[in-house]
């Protein structure tokens, strides 16, 4: 059964869900790498500097959502954009962003996205951000009398 987006009970939510595929920085970077043609997972991880499991998980998401297609050839699976309209959408987004980038960058209402773009602190304990460590006091080794 084929579902038309405008026949769904809530087409706005469906459109928002569609754009979630583009909202994740890793998924967007993968889509951007596919703009100039198909690539296999090894090529994608080398270009983006991400792990193979991370790339595979995002590619599976993009494939399941219909944004990319895959084709196995030999021992490699090659991924490409599902349709040229996705390429057009990404290029249109670049053209719009060229005009409104300052507003998007400074918008405080997109805070969750801004946090994703900020450099991440290394984790020292589970679920806690790294804190500057204060040096432990030095012990003076003296002979015991």
Residue-wise pLDDT tens digits, 98-129: 999 888 888 888 765 545 554 444 444 444 44
The DSSP H or E segment spanning 68 is strand 68-73
SS3 content of the chain, % helix, strand, coil (to 5): 55, 15, 30
Instruction: Please tell me the predicted confidence (pLDDT) of residue 109.
Output: 82
Give the separation between CA 54 and CA 132, rounded to whole angstroms.
29
Q: Does the residue 14 lie in any domain?
A: yes
Separation CA 99–CA 110 (nearest Å) = 18
- 26-40 pLDDT, tens per residue? 999 999 999 999 999
Range of the domain at 12: 5-82
In a domain? residue 139: no
pTM: 0.69
58 occurs within a structural domain: yes
When divided into structural domains, the chain yields a total of 1
Q: Can you read off the two tokens belonging to residue 110? A: 């997109």
């Amino acid at each position: 059964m084929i579902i038309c987006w405008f026949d769904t009970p809530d087409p706005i939510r469906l459109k928002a869900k569609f754009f979630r595929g583009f909202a994740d920085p890793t998924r967007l970077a993968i889509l951007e790498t596919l703009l100039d043609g198909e690539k296999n997972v090894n090529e994608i991880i080398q270009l983006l500097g991400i792990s193979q499991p991370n790339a595979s998980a995002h590619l599976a998401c993009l494939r399941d959502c219909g944004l990319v297609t895959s084709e196995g050839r030999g021992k490699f699976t090659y991924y490409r954009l599902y349709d040229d309209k996705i390429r057009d959408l990404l290029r249109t987004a670049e053209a719009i962003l060229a005009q409104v980038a300052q507003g998007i960058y400074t918008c405080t209402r997109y805070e969750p996205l801004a946090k994703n773009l900020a450099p991440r602190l290394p984790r020292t304990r589970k679920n806690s951000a790294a804190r500057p460590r204060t040096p432990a006091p030095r012990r003076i080794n003296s002979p015991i009398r």
